[in-house]
Structure 1
Amino acid sequence: MPVIPEPLPISRASHRALIVIATGVVLALLYFGKDVLVPVILAMILALLMAPFVRMLQRIGLGHAYAVLIAVLLLAFIATGLMTVIGSQIVHLASSLPQYEQTIRAKLQLLQQATIGRLQAMRGEAGQLFNALGNKSQAAGQAAPVSNTPAYAAPVELPTLAGGPWDAIKSVLSSLWSPLETAGIVLVVLIFILLEYESLRDRFIRVIGGTDLRATTVAINDAGQRLSRFFVSQFSVNFGVGLAIWIGLAAIGLPNALLWGTLTAVLRFVPYVGVWLAALLAALLAAAVTPGWSLMLLTIGLFAAVEIIVSQLVEPQLYGHATGLSPLAVVVAAIFWSWLWGPMGLVLSTPLTLCLVVAGRHVRSLTLLEILLGDTPALTMPQRFYQRALSGDSHEIIAAGREFLRQKSFARYCDAVLLPAFQLAQMDLRRGEINPEQLRRARSAVVRVIETLGREAPVQPRWRHRISVLDDDNIGHYLRKQRESVSGRWQGPLAVAPGSIVLCIDTGVREDDLLTEVLARVLRELRIDARHVSIKDVEEFQEEAHPEATPNAVSMMQVVIGDVTEEWERADAVTQELRQRFADATIVAVVLPNLLEDPAPPEAGPQINVVVKSFEEAAQYALKKFMP
């Protein structure tokens, strides 16, 4: 039997070359096939949006074909109504243009005097000055004569309007023939897609999803819901903007206010430039209507005020949860699709990009699209903390932490962000993937973050404090010593109320020193007298004579266990010794979760009164103990 040779592996360079070639082929197909692809894609998006309405008509007893017919007729009726309103207003505007001719002439004359005329006058004066300097040797009476006629006095000649208003209407209709042809194609394709909607969806699921029908169905439903929410929100906002512009322009006295309101609502579907195009056209008409400039300024001010209110207050609340796109992705998509498909690509840029993001969210091979274009953070908060710490960027960590603390507690921040980031660093340290410079920057950044967010200000100047951090590679030990420099060796007075102190104790593992210090700061932020000590410190304190110390001052001890698998035996020995020394105190085992494994926490026993599994649970238990 002949041996079949194994296929040669594709090198990384060849793989990249194939990706580049495939990308170029796809772009070429998109560009040269735009006349076919644009109507089909537009019809598919409309079908995706109208499918729920068709199903609703079917639920009330209509057949599938009748439901599709009614939905398409309703869409055509709305589109025809908009075109009728815009067309009638354009006809009225075209018939009234001749009466604005004198005003336009005067405005253009004034603009020419203020711009080109001034430049020509300045050029004439400069030429006279150079001539005077060049003719110094000539007699005083032989100076070149200066003309008294200003350079900007030449009258402005406006091009005469050939024909009448009907010629303008014919030119407008001829320019609209191509969009109307595209609209007809879209309508026909839309009808067939809606008639075969279920079959096409099944075929699409079979091609894309293969055997994973569940994931593909979820992706299609997600795309439909997001597109529906986006277009409903966009239609509502654009309708409101058009209504506001119509009422505002009618109030300030601009003719054909209905035209500009409708045009604004329609053009606003073109992102970024549509509304300002409508504003420019309305401002030009306002400048032609009255001799002054007040109407034009009021028109521009109205558009600017409405757009600022909508874009800054209304749209962030609606579109932020409706699209799932990052703002930069919307801008880049608008530039890319308009370059590829022209104005229609600009209109379709947002829904097309949204479909790509949804596909990247549910198709593993397209995950890159969701990361680059989606609004979800590329890194989790612990990953961002760790990455910024390696870069030494404590300011960004503190800013993100303060934003987090506006809604949640410091204990929750330590559970959700600080602890996972610390465990990420531990894993890289054990693998030897952190170089000394990164380690130095990370230590300084973590110290700064914990001091700032934990509200424990250093007693030393910042520059001395930053240098001394580098001398102690144990961050927890350094932070504890920093507090001791403020409050003394025992981190506070010894003469206190009975049962008012909580001891935060580690098991002697070096990595847990920082976690124990963080727990002490979490409790101290809640106005609980928490003190970070080791089991050796407890022995020394009891051996030393402290006559000012209050008997039975310690009512609770919280033992921090960072890794229950490796530290439980040591923790058990520590708790046994603590129970012997503090028979009446409450011992809490703080078993912190692990990123890689989540073993079952030990149960409370003779030495341990309760087991908690996070900083937040430890803080809540202490609050219940100390608060009435």
Structure 2
Amino acid sequence: MLALLYFGRDVLIPITLAFILSFLLAPFVRALRHLGLGPTTSVCASVLVVTVSLVAIGAVLVQQVGMMGASLPKYQDTIAAKIEILNELTRGTIGSLGGPAGDLIDHFTQENGAAPQPVQLADGTARMPVLVEIHEPALKPFQLLAKVAASVWPPLETAGIVFVVLIFVLLEHESLRDRFIRLAGGGDLRATTLAVNDAGERLSRFFISQFLVNIATGLAIWLGLALLGVGQAPLWGAMTAVLRFIPYVGVWMAAVCATVLAAAVDPGWSLALMTLGLFLAVEIIVAQTIEPKLYGHTTGLSPLSVVVSAIFWSWIWGPVGLVLSTPLTLCLVVAGRYIRALKVLEIMFGELPALTMPQNFYQRALSGDAHEIVTSAKRYMQHKSLAEYCDGVLLPALHLANFDLKDAAITADEEEKVTSSIIAVIEALSGNPKWWKKRKRSTVLTGGGIGRELRESRISDTGKYQGSFDVPAGSVVLSVPLGSQSAELATEILVRILREQKIDARSRTMDELAEPPPPGASPELVSIVCLVSVDPLNDCDKMSAALEKMRARLPHCKQFALLLPSPFENPDLKTCVFPLADHVSRSYDDILHACQLTMK
């Protein structure tokens, strides 16, 4: 495959350019067809517009390069003076460079106009040397024409292949889509068609957005450099627009070239600094403001994959491969999203995480890396609540750990790491400043005692009764687990979620409720009783009995039922009907909102 890409680059590069250009031109072709033009006319008109535009831009750039080449000798003294300054600042490092860079520095720093020294002959006389220049004979008209044609033919040949292939790709757009649908999986025609259409629209939208952003950035650089007085501003604007297709470093390659020219033109350093500042300001505005609004902060590729793809494609296809590296890799990632055989490409190069957040939580817990879990959780909770985090990440991760426990697929050491990590994370997210302290080694995961340990830790801070009884009537939410120790953990998490929202939540087990009430406690303090079950299908009778008992004991309270089954088993809870419950919730977020509405 690598040999095919390398040795076939003369054919593959123009074909690849044609396909990428087709994504840019497809919306324009569709717009022309909506205006009433035929397919062939629409395609030819679009390609003609692109051809004329590129020829005009190329002519301007060639003129700018010629002007820059003609003006460089004027700045030789300025360049030499600044190289001398830099050489002094670097203690001779610049002057000691070898290779082409050293030769170039020597060329600029050698004494200008030095008179030739006389040569001592064998007879003792001295004579001035005669300078001899060797010139090739003047070329005849046909030889000159052949030389010019030989220099311009390769790019013209490549451009011709690109536009011929582009025309046929646009004309055969529907046929190519059908072939890709057949390749991706023609068994489910509807799903595959939707997937291919979505992939094509996403790529086209991204390429158009990136193209327009790069053109706008190039225009801004052009105008800014023209106002600053830097020569050949159109050339640097065009270079910026092209090199911005190379992620991370492309725009700075153009910035360095423009800054070096500014330093050569201006005897001082102000113009060079203003040039570099212009690139910095424009890039910050574009990268941080415009691009996120158009197509998000990133291309959908992981940063490492962008760098690796740039290195790979530049090695295979040279500078053209460097420019095309991001579009090519993005196409491969999109193909991997919809073609099962190429799924590995999306996993390897895509920005989407390879593991879900619950899987990532459990994997970090197995490694005992609680700090990383807490850091990830806090990033998540910048836009979400603690209740949403527990619903979407913490509970699924606990169920993953429970599955491994049931299958005896977890060692005692891993069990201890998971236990410690879960306790540390819950303590940290609920605002306990002592979460980082090392706890005594114990394996409470097997016994399901995490909830009890967390409850005891909280009681040690809030007192035996988890708070004072000198509070207003109806200000306490009582949470009660239904039997199992897993329910005790779920109940403790609920209490901490409610307390995080400034709700006076306290937990009691069914056995504790059977004991005499604590001194000073009054039933009127409680406004809501939450009964928590993590196995609703098997706890239906137990939940109904508990609701009936709580209704008889605390008739003035609202009775809430919180059902938290495993998200991986999708149990049918239609049979779990509780007429005595005032509200039935299936998530922490829902019961939190229900409690907040009731407590108002």
TM-score computed with the length of structure 2 as normaliser: 0.85
Q: Quote the residue 1:408 is aligned against.
A: 384
Q: Which residue of 2 aligns with 1:561?
A: 533
Q: State the Cα deviation string for residues 598-626 of structure 1 (Å, max 9, x = none).
A: 22255654543332211122112211211
Aligned residue in 2 for 1:614: 587
Provide the residue aligned with 2:6 in structure 1. 31
Aligned partner of 2:551 in structure 1 is: 579
Q: Which of the numbers 522, 540, 563 marks the counterpart of 2:515?
A: 540
Distance in 2, Cα, partners of 1:157 & 1:208:
70
- 1:513 positional shift: 0.9
Residue 106 (structure 1) shift: 4.8
Given the alignment of the two structures, is residue 523 of structure 1 paired with residue 510 of structure 2, yes or no?
no
Q: What residue number does 2:230 align with?
A: 254
CA offsets per residue over residues 563-594 of structure 1, 9 Å max, x none? 11222223333333333322333221111132
Distance change >3 Å, CA 469–CA 499, structure 1 → 2: farther
2:326 corresponding residue in structure 1: 350
User: 1:56, CA displacement in angstroms?
Assistant: 1.5
Amino acid at match of 1:205: I
User: Residue 541 of structure 1 aligns to a residue in which SS?
Assistant: coil
| Alpha-carbon distance change, 432 to 250 in structure 1, aligned in 2, over 3 angstroms | same
CA distance in 2, matches of 1:467, 1:455: 21
1:307 paired residue number = 283
Task: Call closer, same or farther: CA 1:606–1:583 in 2, change over 3 Å.
Answer: farther
Are residue 394 (structure 1) and residue 370 (structure 2) matched? yes
Deviation (angstroms), 1:440:
0.7
SS in 2 for 1:187: helix
- Give per-residue Cα distances to partners, 1:468-505, cap 9 Å, x unaligned: 76678511001111122222222122343333322111
Taking the aligned partners of 2:327 and 2:91, their CA distance within structure 1 comes to 45
Alignment pair present for 1:590 and 2:558: no
Residue 600 (structure 1) aligns with: 573
- Whole-angstrom distance in 1 between the partners of 2:436 and 2:183: 62
Q: 1:173 Cα shift?
A: 8.8
1:549 and 2:525 correspond: no
The equivalent residue for 2:357 is 381
Between the aligned partners of 1:207 and 1:333, the Cα distance in structure 2 is 25
CA contact (8 A) 1:502 1:554 kept: yes
Contact 1:512 1:560 in 2 (8 A): yes
Mapped to 2, the partners of 1:112 and 1:175 lie a distance apart of 38
Residue in structure 2 matched with residue 132 of structure 1 by the alignment: none
Map residues 150-165 of structure 1 onto 2, 5 A cutoff.
155=111
What do the CA deviations read for 1:398-454 (whole angstroms, capped 9, x no partner)? 122222222222112211111111111111111111111111111111111111111
Distance in 1 (CA, whole Å) between partners of 2:535 and 2:423 is 22
Alpha-carbon distance in 1 for matches of 2:481, 2:260: 75
Deviations 1:81-135 (A, max 9, x none): 21011012223333334433444455556666777868999xxxxxxxxxxxxxx
- The match for 2:440 among 467, 487, 507 is 467
SS of corresponding position for 1:493: coil
The verdict on how the C-alpha distance between 1:246 and 1:381 changes in structure 2, with shifts beyond 3 A counting, is same
- Match of residue 397 from structure 2: 421
Equivalent pair of 2:24/2:208 in contact (CA under 8 Å): no
With over 3 angstroms needed to count, the CA separation of the structure-2 counterparts of 1:413 and 1:280, relative to structure 1, is closer
Change (3 A) 1:519 1:188: same
Given that 1:590 and 1:612 are in contact with CA atoms closer than 8 Å, whether structure 2 keeps it comes out as: yes
SS in 2 for 1:511: helix
Matched position secondary structure for 1:564: coil
1:318 to partner: Cα distance: 3.9
Q: Percentage identity across aligned positions?
A: 49
1:439 aligns with 2:415: yes
Partner of residue 197, structure 2 = 221
Alpha-carbon distance between aligned partners in 2 of 1:530 and 1:207, rounded to the nearest angstrom: 58
Q: Does 1:623 align with 2:596?
A: yes
Deviation at 1:517, TM superposition (A): 0.6
1:419 aligned partner, one-letter code? L
- How has the CA–CA distance of structure 1 residues 607 and 79 changed in structure 2, closer, same or farther, with 3 Å as cutoff? same
Contact 2:415 2:443 in 1 (8 A): no
Is contact 2:424-2:436 (8 Å) kept?
A: no
Shift of the alpha carbon at 1:162? 10
Q: Is the 8 A contact 2:87 2:94 kept in 1?
A: no
Residues 1:118 and 1:334: Cα distance change in structure 2 (over 3 Å): closer
Question: What is the correspondence of 1:47-58 to structure 2 with a 5 Å cutoff?
Answer: 47-58=22-33
- Quick check: 1:500–1:529 contact (8 Å CA) kept in 2? yes
Q: 1:215 to 1:28 in 2, by over 3 A?
A: farther
CA distance in 2 between counterparts of 1:502 and 1:394 reads 30
| Paired AA for residue 4 in structure 2 | L
Q: Which residue pairs with 2:104 in the alignment?
A: none
CA displacement 1:549-574 (0-9 Å, x = unmatched): 23432232111010112222233333
d(CA) in 1 for partners of 2:444, 2:171: 75
SS at match of 1:193: helix
1:180 to 143, 156, 167: 156
| Equivalence for 1:84 | 59
| CA distance in 1: counterparts of 2:110 and 2:337, whole angstroms | 65
Aligned residue for 2:584, secondary structure, equals strand
**2:291–2:297 contact (8 Å) kept in structure 1:** no
User: Would you say the 8 A contact 2:536–2:576 is kept in 1?
Assistant: no
Structure 2 SS opposite 1:549: coil
Tell me the amino acid that sits aligned with residue 276 of structure 1: W
Deviation at 1:317, TM superposition (A): 4.6
Secondary structure of the residue aligned to 2:530 is strand
1:431 to 1:223, Cα distance in 2 relative to 1, 3 A:
same
Matched, 1:72 2:51: no
State the alpha-carbon separation in 2 of the partners of residues 285 and 462 from structure 1.
56
CA contact (8 A) 2:78 2:266 kept: yes
**Following TM superposition, by how much is the alpha carbon of 1:176 offset from its aligned partner in structure 2, in angstroms?**
5.2
Partner residue of 1:507? Answer: 482
Structure 1 contact 335–346 (Cα < 8 Å) conserved: yes
Partners of 2:598 and 2:89 lie apart in 1 by: 80
- 1:370 and 2:346 correspond: yes
Distance 1:174 1:109 in 2: 41
Q: Is the 8 A contact 2:246 2:326 kept in 1?
A: no
Aligned counterparts of 1:229 and 1:404: Cα–Cα separation in 2 = 29
Distance, in Å, in 2 between the alignment partners of 1:605 and 1:92 is: 85
How well do the aligned residues superpose, as a CA RMSD in angstroms?
3.3
1:189-200 equivalence runs, <5 A:
189-200=165-176
1:374-407 alpha-carbon deviations (Å, 9 max, x no partner): 1212222211111111211111211222222222
Which letter does structure 1 place at the counterpart of 2:43? V
Write the mapping of 1:273-352 to structure 2, written as runs, cut at 5 A: 273-320=249-296, 323-352=299-328
**1:302 positional shift:** 2.9
Q: How far apart are 1:539 and its partner, in Å?
A: 0.9
Q: Would the alpha carbon gap of residues 261 and 48 (structure 1) be closer, same or farther in structure 2, given more than 3 Å must change? A: closer
Give the stretch that moved more between structures: 55-64 or 189-198: 189-198
Q: In 2, are the aligned partners of 1:564 and 1:601 still within 8 Å (CA)?
A: no
- Do the aligned partners of 1:242 and 1:262 also contact (CA within 8 Å) in 2? yes
Checking the alignment, whether the CA contact within 8 Å between 1:209 and 1:215 is kept in structure 2 is: no
1:413 counterpart letter in structure 2:
Y
Partner of 1:430: 406
SS of residue paired to 2:560: strand
CA drift of 1:222 comes to: 2.7
Deviations 1:332-367 (A, max 9, x none): 111111111111111221111111111111112221
Q: What SS is found at the alignment partner of 1:552? A: helix
1:12: which partner in 2? none
For structure 1, the residue ranges without an aligned partner over 5 or more in a row are: 1-25, 122-152
- 3-state SS of the aligned residue for 1:466? coil
Relative to structure 1, the CA distance from residue 114 to residue 523 in structure 2 (aligned partners, 3 Å threshold; closer, same or farther) is closer
